[in-house]
A and B are shown apart, each in its own frame.
Chain A
Amino acid sequence: MQAVFYFSHVTTASCDACRQGSPSFSEKSRGGVRFFDLCRRFQRVQTDQLPPPRLQLRRIDKRFPGCHANKAVSLTLQPGEIHALLGENGAGKSTLVKIVYGVQQADSGEILWDGQPVHIGSPAQARALGIGMVFQHFSLFESLTVTENIALGINAREPLEDLATRIAEVSQRYGLPLDPQRHVHDLSVGERQRVEITRCLLQNPRLLIMDEPTSVLTPQEADTLFETLRRLRDEGCTILYISHKLEEIRALCSQATVLRAGDVVGSCDPRENSARALAQMMIGTELKTARSSISGTRRGEARLQVTNLSLGSLQPFGVDLKDISLSVHSGEIVGIAGVAGNGQNELMAALSGEHRSADHDAIHINGQPVGRLGPKRRRDLGMGFVPEERLGRGAVPDLSLADNALLSGYGRQALVSRGLISFRKVNAYADRIIQAFNVRTHGRRAEARSLSGGNLQKFIIGREILQKPKLLICAQPTWGVDAGAAAQIHQALLDLRDQGAAVLVVSQDLDELFTIADRIAVMCHGRLSSLRAARETTVEQVGLLMGGLFDSADEWEDDHGA
């Protein structure tokens, strides 16, 4: 495997690095050369005069209680390459990069930086070496300004005024313009990512780690990001790019290492492999996808009708909902796309009844006005609801699956009579969910927190579907879920639709929406675009809408003002 890496590099990224390397080489040999340098020189000659790899991981091993996150993982990154780290959720990618960035320590194994063994005990040490990292869940502080945030994340100490100037300069140079004085809570998710990237760039990184960077971007924003990354690569920076989006890896990366269950299961040049082949390597089995997305049944009556809903956010830095209209009919799946933090959470709270609207008629479920009703009353009308935050909203982490079945099932499943809980019924209901939705757990007494993300999501969706909802609202149904469970969940949603239910799915994952949705709308800045048929819509159009260009996308569709 090592050899494969080396050879591919002779042909790709290493040539310019060699050219840069040679002069200093001869300079050194004119002076006294130490034994050590000699050895290195010898090594370089052996490997076609390559400079040492920027970073080499040798047999990195890390265990957590109940989980072997990295099993003797080895990985080599060359100067000036964009290297993909591929793997499913829970494959050990995040653990591995946290070890590289010094957030966690490996149990065993060694790390070589520029060919030298190093110990990376903390992020500050990593930064001192020249390693920068952009986190998936940003490590930003909402109530602080851009400058303050960046000052916290760099080793250099300089007056904040000087730093602000540098931030403006560097972010501009790399096509990521930022206002250093703004508070982070005012920024869009894409802008927040710029803060993280700028923070890394200010330290002239030689290795930049990016953890799922495009999951929060519109397709257009992602393209801009790719340009920045290519430019960095051309300047000699190495980029370790973590993703499970295969197409973008094929477009961007020249090397890929695939992790599965903590093991390196292969490495390849992604440009020479199909997305399907990469997926298979990642999952280990043939990829099953949900069957065709287009509804066979005819669209029936409106089960959810939202009319000019405006609602202020309850969260300190939330997004207000502005004039939202939407209808979901029986026998269809409606998808809502959008970059996270554009009001989706607020819309979900308004639909579930957790945040009631003053306008009783703004929301109708099954023809009944429900704006001022709470979650219980809306459930009674046939609504099922799967929240985005599955551990901590959709389920109580510390309670058993049986208790969690009671959590939303108490009404429509008649699990409570005269204020007393019928434990017999609760247990039977929990068992039914576990069986029908193939939830892998050691029984209904298991705590919700002990389940993997995919299994817990199957349990929650199963709990809602078994209540035979006329309307199911589902936020991020497969976010952070392994591919097998995701396919099962998609199938369950499609089946529910085919049985005549109305389904509303909110997702950041455009692939998912295009797979299952019949109609699609996009949220941006608390507004919702008009709905359009998924078949007649392109990713580019949705991308423009995600960026807030409602008018231009509508012109494109030619139904502006509808």
Chain B
Amino acid sequence: MAHKPSFMPRLEPRGHASPSMVYLTPLLALVVTLLAGGLLFQVLGFNAPEALYTFFISPLTTAYGLGELVVKATPLALCAIGLALGFRGNVWNIGAEGQLTFGAIFGGGVALACYDMEGWWILPLMVVAGMVGGMLWGAIPAFLKTRFHASEILVSLMLTYVATLILSLLVHGPWRDPEGFNFPESRIFSDSALLPVLLAETRLHFGALFALAAVVGGWFIIARTFVGFQIKVMGLTPAAGGYAGFSQRKVVWLSFLVSGALAGLAGVSEVAGPIGQLQPTVSPGYGFTAIIVAFLGRLHPVGILLAALLMALSYLGGEAVQIGMGLPLAVTGVFQGMLLFFLLASDVLIRYRVRFGRPQQEAKA
């Protein structure tokens, strides 16, 4: 390859992955995103500090805002922990959105079926149904992958569109609220089918505890269990996993069932929590944003928890700048995308060092 001019920065492999960079790069990515975001606001003709304040700080100044932060972080964390498990094992489930939708359908279905009933058992049943729904929807790509080698990326994504259409079909048809003036929405769930609110004056609901439990459970699987080790080996070096006698099929199935169940849990928590009914859309793309959350959190449950809060903030920030400054809501997506890019780019620092200055003296004479 032609030699580069000497002032170009070069990448030099480190002997070891840098442990400090593993933790520093997400922060670095965040800082660069803030700078780039500020620049973007400035270019669009807004006062950058004010816009950044509105986006990142103002949502956190009220108790309600803090509650909303957790409400939005809950489905993100639930989905992302499941996805992270798979990503570690090189299983690319990108259809968490569909699995979330199916969880909502199954859980919501139970709620509607039990509309006239009361009892403590309704909520647990909904939760289980939601998880089963998510698992079923996740089982399809797992089956097609292990049986026919069909790309799980494409299948799980296609199924997301299908799941959304099924939900739409249901709320336009059989599950439409009979007293709802033909709006494509289900009945509002009965009180027995709604998750309790944890903090008065906010929408903070019981689902947040599910997310916390998932963080602990996810950490335990990854750090302590042999299954977690197998997933890690399969993700890093499949050939070594095969040599050790680990099974690729097992990793695929496990990843999809766990992430499906968690996404389903997120779905049922949404409809039994802040939404309270079935609507044509039950998620503003939590399942996709969870992909960013998983990477930003370094595929580690604790990191994911922090990343989920940050991403939740980006949703709130988007709403805040829309209301406060008239900026389009899509600014959220831009911020999320930028953050993921900068994170991926700065990841290079874990394995490589950047060297400036004269790289290599050429062998000229």
Could you list which residues of chain A lie within 8 angstroms of chain B, going by C-beta atoms?
A: 58, 60, 65-66, 99, 105-112, 117-122, 352-354, 374-377, 379, 385, 387, 389, 392-399, 403, 406-408, 410, 416, 419-421, 446-447, 450
Contact = CB atoms under 8 A, between A and B. Distances in A.
B170 to A, nearest CB: 39
A128 to B, nearest CB: 14
Interface stretch (B22-30, B159-167, B232-240, B274-282): B232-240
Interface in B216-259: 224-227, 229, 232-233, 236-237, 239-240, 242-245, 247
Given A122-B1, A377-B245, A396-B240, 8 more contacts: A65-B353, A110-B363, A117-B364, A118-B365, A385-B243, A395-B240, A407-B233, A416-B226
B363 A408 contact: no
A421 B243 contact: no
Contact of B239 (A106, A389, A450): A389
B237 to A, nearest CB: 5
B118 interface: no
B14 A65 contact: yes
B245 A419 contact: no
B337 to A, nearest CB: 28
A99 B363 contact: yes
B2 interface: yes
Contacts of B225: 419-421
Nearest to B364: A119
Contact of A396 (B237, B360, B362): B237
A443 B97 CA distance: 44
A117 to B, nearest CB: 4
A450 B361 CA distance: 27
A407 to B, nearest CB: 5
Contacts of A99: 363
B17 A421 contact: no
B147 interface: no
Nearest to B244: A407
A58 B14 CA distance: 30
Contact of B364 (A65, A110, A399, A410): A110
Given A107-B360, A119-B362, A397-B237, A450 B245 contact: no
A396 B3 contact: no
B362 A399 contact: no
A406 B15 CA distance: 23
A105 B17 contact: no
7 contacts: A65-B12, A106-B363, A120-B363, A374-B247, A375-B242, A376-B244, A389-B239
Contacts of A397: 236-237
A399 B363 contact: no
B13 interface: yes
A530 to B, nearest CB: 29
Contact of B243 (A105, A117, A122, A387): A387
Q: Which 9 A-B pairs have the closest CB atoms?
A: A110-B365, A375-B245, A376-B245, A117-B365, A106-B363, A119-B364, A393-B239, A416-B226, A396-B237
Nearest to A63: B360
A392 B16 CA distance: 16
Contacts of B360: 105-107
A447 B362 contact: no
A154 B203 CA distance: 70
User: Which of B245, B247, B365 has the most C-beta atoms of chain A within 10 angstroms of its own C-beta?
Assistant: B245
A408 B244 contact: yes
A398 B363 CA distance: 34
Given A108-B363, A119-B365, A416-B226, A408 B243 contact: yes
Contacts of B14: 65
B240 A407 contact: yes
B233 A122 contact: no
B237 A392 contact: yes
Given A119-B363, A122-B1, A421 B233 contact: no
A107 B361 CA distance: 4
User: Which of B225, B227, B229 has the most C-beta atoms of chain A within 10 angstroms of its own C-beta?
Assistant: B229
Contacts of A395: 240
Interface residues of B, number: 32
User: Which of B13, B14, B240, B361 has the most C-beta atoms of chain A within 10 angstroms of its own C-beta?
Assistant: B240
A109 B12 CA distance: 22
B229 A406 contact: yes
A353 B245 contact: yes
A396 B240 CA distance: 6
B218 to A, nearest CB: 15
B226 A65 contact: no
A265 B326 CA distance: 75
A420 B365 contact: no
A183 to B, nearest CB: 24
User: Which of A60, A99, A112, A398 has the most C-beta atoms of chain B within 10 angstroms of its own C-beta?
Assistant: A398
B236 A399 contact: yes
A375 B243 contact: yes
Nearest to B242: A354
Contacts of A394: 240, 243
Contacts of A112: 365
User: Which of B12, B14, B17, B233 has the most C-beta atoms of chain A within 10 angstroms of its own C-beta?
Assistant: B233
A420 B224 contact: yes
A410 B245 CA distance: 11
Nearest to B220: A420
Contact of A121 (B2, B16, B17): B2
Nearest to B223: A421
Contacts of B17: 398, 447
Given A105-B363, A119-B362, A419 B227 contact: yes
Given A65-B15, A374-B245, A419-B225, A396 B361 contact: no
Contacts of A58: 365
A354 B226 contact: no
A312 B330 CA distance: 54
Nearest to B221: A419
Given A105-B3, A122-B1, A420-B226, A111 B365 contact: yes
Interface string B322-365: 00000000000000000000000000000001000000111111
A421 B226 contact: yes
Contacts of A376: 244-245
B362 A121 contact: yes
Given A353-B245, A393-B240, A421-B229, A106 B361 contact: yes
B320 to A, nearest CB: 41
Contacts of B227: 419
B145 to A, nearest CB: 17
A398 B22 CA distance: 14
Contact of B363 (A111, A403, A421): A111
Contact of A106 (B13, B237, B240, B362): B362
Nearest to B234: A396
B15 A396 contact: no
A106 B233 CA distance: 37
Contacts of B242: 354, 375, 393
User: Which of B13, B360, B363 has the most C-beta atoms of chain A within 10 angstroms of its own C-beta?
Assistant: B363
Contacts of A122: 1-2
A66 B13 CA distance: 10
Nearest to A65: B12
Contacts of B1: 122
Given A60-B363, A406-B229, A396 B2 contact: no
Contacts of B365: 58, 110-112, 117-119
Contacts of B236: 396-399
Contacts of B2: 121-122
Contact of B229 (A107, A110, A403): A403
A403 to B, nearest CB: 7
A399 B233 contact: yes
Nearest to B237: A396
A379 B245 CA distance: 9
Contacts of B362: 105-106, 119, 121
Nearest to B353: A65
A65 B354 CA distance: 12
Contact of B13 (A65, A354, A393, A419): A65
